[in-house]
Amino acid sequence: MDTIINGIVQAFWMLVHGDPQVLQIALLSLLVSGAATMLSLLIGIPLGTVLGLSHFPGRRFLVSLVNTGMGFPPVVVGLVVSIFLWRSGPLGMLHLMYTPWAMVIAQLIISLPVVTGFTLAATQQLDPKLRLQILALGASQVQLVWLLLKEARLPLLAAIMAGFGAVISEVGASMMVGGNIVGQTRVMTTAIVAENSKGDFAYAIALSVILMALVYLVNFILTMVQQRSKTR
Amino acid sequence: MNQKQLSAEPIIEAEGLSVSYGTQTVLDVPSLQVYPNEVLVIIGPNGSGKTTLLLCLTHLIKPATGTVSYRGVTVANNTAVLKLHRRLAAVFQEPLLLSSSVWDNVTLGLRLRKVPRGEIKARTEKWLERFGIRALARRQAKTLSSGEAKRASLARAFVLQPEVLFLDEPFTALDSPTRQALLEDFLSVLRETKVTTVMVTHDRNEALALADRVIVLIDGRIKQTGTPEDVFGSPIDEEVASFVEAGNIMHGVVSSQSGGLALVDVSERHLEVVSDLTAGTKVTIFLHHEDITLLLPLLQTTPSSARNRLTGKVVRVFPIGSQMKVTLDCGFPLVAVITRRSWEELGLRVGETLIASFKASSIHLIPRV
């Protein structure tokens, strides 16, 4: 019990004093997971929209792949990305292994199915007749997709939250492709694992508290946006 | 349809339209025209292909075969379809409003057409006012009642000042008082704007109230085209008659003919009918519920110009609004619709014997092949 209280107190001190090492770790976590989420939105929203609104042969198979991808174990993703980025691997010449970029790639692979799956569900639950109504009002294809995405904005914000939540909290892939190198690839989750294995529980708890506060802050902002657009 | 419309060039001309799902043909319309300023009502039972036909006419779905041209021009590609949609308006059974304010919804079509802002404001205010929802402009569309939402969707269509207005069962999902109020408003707007209108419905009362011309669509095929009086008064065959609920439908044989008055035998009863059909012709007989007068037997001897009098026992009574639907057993079932007040004043009861009286000219005969 003392350990937990010590940890919370320590977390408070580190935040108040602006512990440079903790700030650096927190910032890298936000940057890596933020970039991975952004990229997965850029790819996943169009992909999910196409899967949700169109009909073509093989569509169901792709949907089943996306749904499976939503439950991919991060460790497996880390392993596959490692194999590709390893010096002797197919993409070894890029020298990305143990860099933040490797972590972004791994996290992108984790969050992409989540964002795609949520987008698919969001666009699929729209009334199919709404498409006809919007077209009948004189919308071009581009305007149609824009209006439909706007209509599905509440579940789409849930897609962002779920995608970000999946990567900010994962540890397996980041550990494997990033290597938890201090000052270079150490993020919140890998730091917690490292401190825990060193036996510095108070520091680990302090980092956990900060990580949870970070996740809460991001989701709080997104929730505000979501709920405001609901009442607007 | 009046002479002016007949002579005018059609706005819409469809040719050889067909739509199939798998091996089943759901629509087969060789030819259909929509004329300027007419209200064309397409009626038919559920699943008869009405909505499919409407979607083909609006180029919202592509038929398997056939063309739909506007003012003589065929709509060739996607750009042409988009341009066409910006000349039309469509209202569906569900209001299909987007989740934003009523104002945003009603102005959407105008914004897509890049209409100047001042004009958007003026037109939108006018039509919100016209449909009695001006006060709801700032409200979220999702918080509207079904009647208010329908008004918003109608305003969204009229604000576009379309060349042709398409409506797919627009009043179906509404409860009766809401529907009646909206129907009246809508009718006065139609009269005022004289917009060319194509409406799909399964409700014959809506067709009677609104239509200049009626098309009966059954199983994807046009069965009959004509004025509402034509279609409801003289259905072309039994299928149409049973759909338009023309009234009593019976089978009989013409037993004699003298000077335009045919005697028709039905289940050992005889009806006098104004008709030139010759003796021996097998016929289907139509008689509107409303054209039958019910008399108490004691008044049987009262002289009347109505040529037909059938005695029958009341077997069933069913109230419809302010009216009563009375079924008599005259050797065959005969349904008459009378007002509730008549029913009460005559003190009628199930099991009672009555006289059904109707004129020889209110019966419509169709020869059977």
Give residue-wise pLDDT tens across range A178-223. Answer: 999 998 999 999 999 999 999 888 888 888 988 999 899 989 998 8
Chain B contact set for A232 (CB, 8 A): 100, 140
Q: Does B56 score more than 80 pLDDT?
A: yes
Minimal Cα distance from B91: which residue of A? A133
> What is the pLDDT, as a whole number, of residue B213?
95
Q: Give contacts of A138 with chain B, Cβ < 8 Å.
A: 82, 85-86, 109, 112-113, 160
Beta bridge partners of B309: B357
Interface test with A, best of B91, B99, B140 (most A CBs within 10 A): B99
Strand order in the sheet with B363-367: B269-274, B261-266, B248-258, B282-287, B363-367
Residues from chain A contacting residue B92 (CB–CB below 8 Å): 129, 132-133
Structure tokens at B178: 């809401």
Which tokens belong to A115?
Answer: 């964002």
- What's the structural domain count of chain B? 2
Residues B78 and A100: their CA atoms lie apart, in Å, by 46
| Whether the Cβ atoms of residue B315 and residue B350 lie closer than 8 Å to each other | yes
Given a cut of 60, is residue B202 above it in pLDDT? Answer: yes
Q: Give chain A positions within 8 Å (CB) of B99.
A: 151
Distance from CA of B85 to the nearest CA of A (A): 5
Q: Which CATH number do you get for residue B334?
A: 2.40.50.100
* pTM summary value: 0.76
Taking only the tens place, the pLDDT of each residue in A28-54 is 999 999 999 999 999 999 999 999 988
**Domain boundary residue, one of B192, B217, B243:** B243
Task: Identify the domain boundary among B243, B258, B281.
Answer: B243
Decide: B25 and B220 in contact? Cβ < 8 Å: yes
- List all residues 6 or more positions away from A190 whose beta carbon is below 8 Å from its beta carbon: A171, A174, A175, A178, A180
Calculated CA dihedral for residues B233, B236, B242, B245, nearest 10 degrees: -20
Same domain, B204 and B268: no
> Residue A231's pLDDT is what?
52
Q: Which amino acid is at B281?
A: T
Mark yes or no for CB contact A138/B94 under 8 Å. Answer: no
Q: Are residues B206 and B66 in the same domain?
A: yes
Residue span of the structural domain in which B227 resides: 3-243
Concatenate the DSSP letters of all residues of B105-151 into one string.
HHHHHHHHTT--HHHHHHHHHHHHHHTT-GGGTTSBGGGS-HHHHHH
| Binding-face residues of A in 89-148 toward B, CB within 8 A | 127, 129-130, 132-133, 135-141, 143, 147
Q: Is the pLDDT of residue B1 over 60?
A: no
What CATH topology corresponds to A2-231? MetI-like fold (1.10.3720)
Task: Provide the 8-state DSSP code for B299.
Answer: G
- Kindly state whether B96 is in contact with chain A, defined as any CB-CB distance less than 8 angstroms: yes
Q: What is the pLDDT of residue B7?
A: 58
Per-residue model confidence as pLDDT tens digits over A85-144: 998 889 988 889 999 999 999 999 999 999 999 999 999 999 989 999 999 999 999 999
Q: Is the pLDDT of residue B269 over 80?
A: yes
Which residues in chain B have Cβ-Cβ distances shorter than 8 Å to A137? 85, 89-90, 108-109, 112, 156, 160
| Adjacent-strand bridge partners of B42 | B200, B215
Q: Is there a single domain that holds both residue B269 and residue B174?
A: no
Task: For residue B189, give the CATH number of its domain.
Answer: 3.40.50.300
Same domain (yes/no): B205, B254: no
- pLDDT, position B85: 96
Is the predicted ipTM greater than 0.90, yes or no? no
Starting at the edge strand that comes first in sequence, how are the strands of the sheet with B73-74 ordered? B24-34, B12-21, B65-70, B73-74
